[in-house]
Structure 1
Amino acid sequence: MAADRLDQPRELRRSFRPHYDPEAFGRLSEEIARFLGTARFLVYMTCFVAIWISWNVLSPAHLRFDPYPFIFLTLMLSLQASYAAPLILLAQNRQDDRDRVTYEQDRLTSERNQADIEYLTREIAGLRLSMGELATRDFLRSELQRFNEERPEAS
C-alpha cells in the first residue's frame, strides 16, 4: 500500500477546517501589534471616538446611529480590544522566540570568544617564558662590556 510507506508524503485530505499559514498569520499579527502601539493609532482612535460622540450628540435624532449610540460605541471598542489583546500576545510570543534564539547565539559566541582569549593568554604566557630564556641585545652588551672590563689589558 502506498499509504503505508514512510518515504512517500501523505495525500492531502479535504477538510472542512480552514487552512491558514501560521507564519503568515504571525507576521500579520506582528504588523497589527506594531500599528496598535503607535501614536498614529491613538490619534485615529481618538478622532473616531470624537466624531462618533459629536455625530450622536449634535445630529438630529433620525440621523443618529442608534437610539443608544454610546452602548454601540462601547461594544465596538470592546470588540477591537478583544482582537487586539490576542494579536499582541501572539506578537510578543514570536518576539520571545526570536530573542531566545538570539540569546543562545550570543551565548555560544561568547563561549567561543572566551575560549579564544584563554588560548591566546596561554600562548602569550608561553612566549614570555621562552623569551625569558633568550639573550637580549642589552644583556649581550652588558656581558661584553663586563668581559672587556675583566679581561687583563693586553700589552
Structure 2
Amino acid sequence: MAPEREGTRERMASGATAATRGPRARLDQPRAPRRRLLPEWDPEAFGRLSERIARFIGTGRFLVWMTVVIIVWVLWNISAPRDLRFDEYPFIFLTLALSLQASYAAPLILLAQNRQDDRSRVELEQDRKQNERSIADTEYLTREIAALRIGLGEVATRDWMRSELQDVVKELEERQNGHRPDGHHEPGVFPAERSRGRDVDDR
C-alpha cells in the first residue's frame, strides 16, 4: 500500500504544479494579446487614404476649390464689417492654414509615391519572372522544333516514295522489254512469248 500512496502523491503533486502553471505551460495555444496604450491602426487603410488624398490634391478640382476658398476668405476679411472679420490683413490665419495644409500634403504625397514605387517594384519583378518563363518556354519549343525537323529529315516522305516507286516500275518495264538501263539487251524478266511458243511446240 505504501508504493500506491507514493504514486498517488506524485500524481497529485504533478497535477498541482500543472494547475499552478496554468496556460503558460501550454505551447500549442497562442498567448493572449497584450493591451496597448496607443490606439491600433491599419497601415494599409491609412496608405489607401493617403493615396486618395494625394490623388485629389493632384487634380484641377482641388486647385479650383482652393482658389475659390482663398478668394472668398480675402474678400470677406476686406469687405465685411469689422466685427465679422476673423482674419484681417495680413491674413495670418490664412497663411497658417495654408502652411498646415502644405505640411500635411507633402508627407501624404510622399507616402502615396512610396506605395506606388513598391507596387511598381513588385510588378517589375513579376514581369521579369514572366519574361524569364517565356524565354525558357521559347527555347524549349525551339529545341523541340529543331528535333522534329531532324527527325523528319530521316523519314521517307511521300514524294520520295513516289519517285522511288516510279524508278522501280521503270526499271521493271525496261527489264520486261529486254532493255537494260545501260543500253544492253538482255532477255525479259517475264518471258511470256517464249512460254507461249514452247506450249505451241509441245502441242
Which TM-score bucket, shorter chain as reference?
0.7 to 0.9
Query: Percent of pairs identical after alignment?
Result: 65
Aligned to 2:50: 29
Distance across 1 between alignment mates of 2:29 and 2:121 = 34
Letter in 2 for 1:154: Q
Aligned to 1:114: 135
Q: Which runs of 5+ in 2 are unaligned?
A: 1-20, 178-203
Instruction: Measure how far apart 1:100 and its partner are.
Output: 1.6
- Larger deviation: 135-144 or 72-81? 135-144
Letter in 1 for 2:176: A
Q: Which runs of 5+ in 1 are unaligned?
A: none
Aligned to 1:87: 108
Determine whether 1:141 maps to 2:192. Answer: no
Q: Report the RMSD for the aligned CA atoms in angstroms.
A: 2.1
Aligned to 2:182: none
Larger Rg: 2
Letter in 2 for 1:113: S
Distance across 1 between alignment mates of 2:115 and 2:139 = 36
Question: Which of residues 56, 65, 68 in structure 2 aligns to 1:47?
Answer: 68
Question: Which of residues 97, 113, 116 in structure 2 aligns to 1:76?
Answer: 97
Instruction: Work out which structure has the larger RCO, using CA pairs closer than 8 Å and 6 or more positions apart in sequence.
Output: 1
TM-score by length of 2: 0.68
Letter in 2 for 1:33: A
Q: Is the 8 A contact 1:33 1:88 kept in 2?
A: yes
Distance across 2 between alignment mates of 1:131 and 1:23 = 59
How many residue pairs align between the two structures? Answer: 155
